[in-house]
A and B are shown apart, each in its own frame.
Chain A
Amino acid sequence: MKATRETVLHVAALASLSLDDDEVTALATDLAAIVQYVEQLSAVDTEGLARGPITPTASLRPDEPQPGLTHDDALAQAPRAVDGGFAVPPFASALERS
């Protein structure tokens, strides 16, 4: 598989990254080389192997209420907060376009 400018633009959209033209060109070259390199994995015989975690299974703590961040702490680092909530620009217009 060859990574192209179109591949980069598609993947950048999936990853919510706006890239300028120069970046797209440079990253397409990098991505093509890296993808070509990792394709060596296709030569490895993995027949019959189930994919799974190689580290011990995660353990969950009891589902009991614990002290957490206060409302003020949670909002303290927000670039923009309004009326006790995180402020975002309008998104309805973007939804209509999609």
Chain B
Amino acid sequence: MTVSELLDGSPIALGNAVRSGAVSAVEIARATIERITSRDGNLHAFLSTSEAIVDDARVLDERRTRGETLGALAGVPIALKDALATRHAPTTAGSKILEGYVPPYDATVVQRLRAADALFPGKTNMDEFAMGSSTENSAYGPCKNPWDATRTPGGSSGGSAAAVASRMTPAALGSDTGGSIRQPASFTGVVGVKPTYGRVSRYGLVAFASSLDQIGPLASDVRGAARVLDVIAGHDARDATSSRARSADPMTFEASCDREVRGLRIGVPDEYFQGVAPEVDTSVRAALAALETSGCTIERVSLPHTTYAIATYYVIATAEASSNLARYDGVRFGHRAEARDLASLYGKTRDAGFGREVKRRILLGTFVLSAGYYDAYYVKAQKVRILVARDFERTFGAGVDAIACPTSATAAFALGEKTSDPLAMYQSDACTLPASLAGLPAISVPCGPTPSGLPVGLQLIGRRDDEATLFALAAACERTYPPRPAPFGNRA
């Protein structure tokens, strides 16, 4: 395979080619920089890039020449959402308040990818502090969808999704608090995985809502996403919520892609199809029919508290955000406004440093935690969250192996379409929020496109710690709908 074919294909083939010496890591690094240079001008998927990957690649090639066996992601360029701390490289979280911030440490996921010999060509665009569903809330300008540059790539991990869709990199990391990996994966036609809460260490992830945040991979194919998750998953003493649980099956996530799906029971909840665009409905139901042909049983189920997920999420996530973002005070790092006294320093720094959506969420979160409203809003939402989680427990307890539904009710919407209506933007997360509230794993895998060619995602939601079943089903879906690079990237 040529370097270009390797960059268009799976991270697995690329990593194997570098490990075997069929291609040098330096060739991959140089070609990646060329692609970003030629393709990202209009997309704005990257907030910063690093040409140091050529030096890192040269070290990999030298190690291989000396006879060393390279890691599972040898020479695979992986784009990192700019919410992940990278030692000696800027980390802005899409916010002016972190402009110029250079962390003194690497996030655990970055350390693990580095240990697996991955390359890091740059940091990707995102909604400020991951607060958004379109990457239009980035303080550095919006990212565009490689399939149609008048549309959003989704968000908040829109830059990571666009980087993979346009094959600037075959894989990326994102973070998902209420759908921020899955919805952009759906909008751009790539695979996106939100692991079980606790599966991946959050150490070094800029915090948004700590009971919901989870890091996960986006990739050009299912197996590639599985290999990246194999590398980054696992307990980390530096994250107190990091899980020690192993998958019920000791096989790797990558190996689980080959698992037989015949006989698996897939629940299809009516609630997730209400208000879904007809072309998305058609595409998702065709994918379900394909899984049925593969031997799965498709059955209707009901998750009755789904309708309350948006309100529940926006109370809990904003409450946690208002607390997490209290650290941005202009004293220890980040932007600092000029002020004569400490109170003014805090107020002016935060007013100048935060964008409108972040202020909106800090205000809502502070409001629902404030005296007189705490029980009515915050405590109430926590209780409804339990009901949302119990819906899933009841369904899985009845023997359903996975739940299937659209990742998003629509294909990618137009830039600017929802920016003036925060509630309309929040409602675009309706299909992804419930699994986040319940802490469950979920994957978005491409199914058939809309008649106009826009990508559509099938969402698969699994039992806690059972990503393996989701990878098996997603791989089965992918056999019907093979990966398609975005034409925008190919034209560039």
Q: Are A34 and B423 in contact (CB under 8 A)?
A: yes
> Which chain B residues (165-204) contact chain A, with CB distance < 8 Å?
197-198
Q: Are A79 and B331 in contact (CB under 8 A)?
A: yes
Shortest C-beta distance, A29 to chain B (Å), equals 10
Q: Are B384 and A41 in contact (CB under 8 A)?
A: yes
Q: Could you tell me the distance between the alpha carbons of A89 and B344 in the complex, rounded to whole angstroms?
A: 9
Checking A20, A31, A60, A76 against B367 with a beta-carbon cut-off of 8 angstroms, the contacting residue is A31
Checking A17, A54, A56 against B350 with a beta-carbon cut-off of 8 angstroms, the contacting residue is A17
Complex contacts, B359 vs chain A, CB 8 Å: 17, 19, 23, 27
Q: Could you tell me the distance between the alpha carbons of A69 and B85 in the complex, rounded to whole angstroms?
A: 14
Say whether B339 faces chain A, with CB atoms less than 8 Å apart: yes
> Which chain A residues (39-98) contact chain B, with CB distance < 8 Å?
40-42, 44, 46, 49, 51-56, 58-61, 69, 73-74, 76-80, 86, 88-91, 93-94
Complex contacts, A78 vs chain B, CB 8 Å: 331-333
Q: Could you tell me the distance between the alpha carbons of A86 and B381 in the complex, rounded to whole angstroms?
A: 38
Q: Could you tell me the distance between the alpha carbons of A23 and B347 in the complex, rounded to whole angstroms?
A: 14
Known: A8-B363, A14-B370, A41-B311. A54 touches B341 (CB 8 A): no
The residue in chain A whose Cβ has the minimal distance to the Cβ of B239 is A58
Checking B238, B330, B344, B363 against A12 with a beta-carbon cut-off of 8 angstroms, the contacting residue is B363
Interface residues on B, range: 35 or more
Complex contacts, A52 vs chain B, CB 8 Å: 382, 386
Interface of A is mostly: loop
Q: Are A3 and B367 in contact (CB under 8 A)?
A: yes
Q: Are A17 and B384 in contact (CB under 8 A)?
A: no
Q: B88-128 CB contact bits vs A (8 Å, 1 = yes)? A: 00000000000001101100000000000000000000000
Shortest C-beta distance, A3 to chain B (Å), equals 7
Q: Could you tell me the distance between the alpha carbons of A51 and B380 in the complex, rounded to whole angstroms?
A: 8
The residue in chain A whose Cβ has the minimal distance to the Cβ of B362 is A15
Q: Are A90 and B437 in contact (CB under 8 A)?
A: no
Q: Could you tell me the distance between the alpha carbons of A40 and B330 in the complex, rounded to whole angstroms?
A: 37
The residue in chain B whose Cβ has the minimal distance to the Cβ of A59 is B240
Checking B310, B326, B367 against A35 with a beta-carbon cut-off of 8 angstroms, the contacting residue is B367
Q: Are B336 and A80 in contact (CB under 8 A)?
A: yes
Q: Are B315 and A54 in contact (CB under 8 A)?
A: no
Interface residues on A, range: 35 or more
Q: Are B351 and A86 in contact (CB under 8 A)?
A: no
Complex contacts, B340 vs chain A, CB 8 Å: 89-90
Shortest C-beta distance, B107 to chain A (Å), equals 15
Say whether B385 faces chain A, with CB atoms less than 8 Å apart: yes
Say whether B211 faces chain A, with CB atoms less than 8 Å apart: yes
Q: Are A17 and B347 in contact (CB under 8 A)?
A: yes
The residue in chain A whose Cβ has the minimal distance to the Cβ of B315 is A38
The residue in chain B whose Cβ has the minimal distance to the Cβ of A90 is B341
Q: Could you tell me the distance between the alpha carbons of A15 and B359 in the complex, rounded to whole angstroms?
A: 9
Q: Could you tell me the distance between the alpha carbons of A49 and B336 in the complex, rounded to whole angstroms?
A: 44
Known: A46-B380, A88-B345. A18 touches B386 (CB 8 A): no
Stretch of B218-226, B241-249, B258-266, B482-490 at the chain-chain interface: B241-249
Say whether A7 faces chain B, with CB atoms less than 8 Å apart: yes
Complex contacts, A16 vs chain B, CB 8 Å: 326, 329, 343, 346-347, 350
> Which chain B residues (323-362) contact chain A, with CB distance < 8 Å?
326, 329-336, 339-348, 350-351, 354, 356, 359-360, 362
Complex contacts, B332 vs chain A, CB 8 Å: 74, 77-78, 86
Q: Could you tell me the distance between the alpha carbons of A55 and B379 in the complex, rounded to whole angstroms?
A: 16
Q: Could you tell me the distance between the alpha carbons of A77 and B9 in the complex, rounded to whole angstroms?
A: 40
Checking B311, B333, B342 against A77 with a beta-carbon cut-off of 8 angstroms, the contacting residue is B333
Shortest C-beta distance, B248 to chain A (Å), equals 15
Q: Could you tell me the distance between the alpha carbons of A53 and B437 in the complex, rounded to whole angstroms?
A: 10
Binding site for A on B (CB under 8 A): 101-102, 104-105, 197-198, 211, 237-238, 240-245, 305, 308, 310-312, 314-315, 322, 326, 329-336, 339-348, 350-351, 354, 356, 359-360, 362-364, 366-368, 370, 373, 376-377, 379-387, 389, 422-423, 426, 437-439
